[in-house]
Amino acid sequence: MRIGIIIGSTRPGRNGDRVARWVRDRTVEYADDTAEFDLVDLQDYQLPLLDEPVPALRAPGQQPHTRRWAERIGSYDAFIFVTPEYNTAPPASLTNAINFLHREWGGKPVAYVGYGIYGAVMAVQKLRAQAGVLRMADIGPQVALTLSEDFVNFTDFQPRELHTAAIHGLVDELLAWARALAPLRPALVS
C-alpha cells in the first residue's frame, strides 16, 4: 500500500511541513512493511488556480502540471491530508489541488491531521464534504492539533504524546480501508 501524506499549506513560514514530517515518522515507525508513506508537498507542484478548460469529472487535464499531479496522486492507495485552518476553511492551495483531479481520488480512503486554533476541525469538515463528492472513503479518526497545546508560542511544533496513539489508530483504519477498497477501486472510478 502506498500512502500519500499531502502537505496542504504552501504559505511562507508554514507549520505544515513539520507536522507532516511528524506524521510520516509516527506512521513509518508504527506500520508494518506492507505500507509505504510518502510526503507530497504542494509547493513542489506550483499548481496555478485551476486552469483546465474542462472539469476533471468530464476529462483528464491537459496542462503539463495537471498531468504531473495526476500521475503522482494516481500512484497512491490512500491519503492523509495535513491541513491548517484559515477562517474555518482549508487553505485554497489544498482545495485547488484537489479540484484539479477527479478519477485519481475515487475509491481511495482519506484521513486528516489538522492544526490550528481549534485543531482545524471546521476545515476538515469541509474536506470531508469534498471527499464524499469525489467518491473517497472518508475515515472517521482525525488528529486535531491545537496551536495553544501542541505548539510553543503558537509556532514551534511540539505535539503532545497522546497524539501518537491517535496517529496509530488513524493508520490502522486507513490501511484497513485501503486494503478493502483495492479490489473494488476499478469499478468505483469507472
The model's pLDDT over 133-173, given as tens digits with 9 standing for 90+, comes to 999 999 988 999 999 999 999 889 999 999 999 999 999 99
Q: Count the neighbouring beta carbons within 10 Å of the beta carbon of residue 185.
A: 15
pLDDT value at residue 82: 98
pLDDT value at residue 163: 97
Residue 124, pLDDT above cutoff 70: yes
Q: Which residues contact 139 (CB under 8 A, 6 or more apart)?
A: 109, 110, 111, 170, 173, 174, 177
Residue 188, pLDDT above cutoff 80: no
Q: Which residues contact 108 (CB under 8 A, 6 or more apart)?
A: 76, 77, 78, 79, 136, 137, 178, 181, 185
Q: Count the neighbouring beta carbons within 10 Å of the beta carbon of residue 55.
A: 11
Distance from C-alpha of 4 to C-alpha of 95, rounded to nearest angstrom: 16
pLDDT value at residue 187: 82
Distance from C-alpha of 6 to C-alpha of 131, rounded to nearest angstrom: 14
Please tell me which residue, 52 or 32, carries the higher pLDDT value.
52
Ordered structural domains, the chain, with CATH = 2-189 (3.40.50.360)
DSSP assignment letter at 44:
G
Residue 190, pLDDT above cutoff 70: no
**Mean pLDDT of the region 32-56:** 95
The model's pLDDT over 7-34, given as tens digits with 9 standing for 90+, comes to 999 999 999 999 999 999 999 999 988 9
The model's pLDDT over 72-123, given as tens digits with 9 standing for 90+, comes to 999 999 999 999 999 999 999 999 999 999 999 999 999 999 999 999 999 9
Distance from C-alpha of 22 to C-alpha of 12, rounded to nearest angstrom: 19
Distance from C-alpha of 5 to C-alpha of 76, rounded to nearest angstrom: 10
- Grid coordinates representing 75? 500512484
Is 5 within 8 Å of 39 (Cβ atoms)? Answer: yes
Is 6 within 8 Å of 82 (Cβ atoms)? Answer: yes
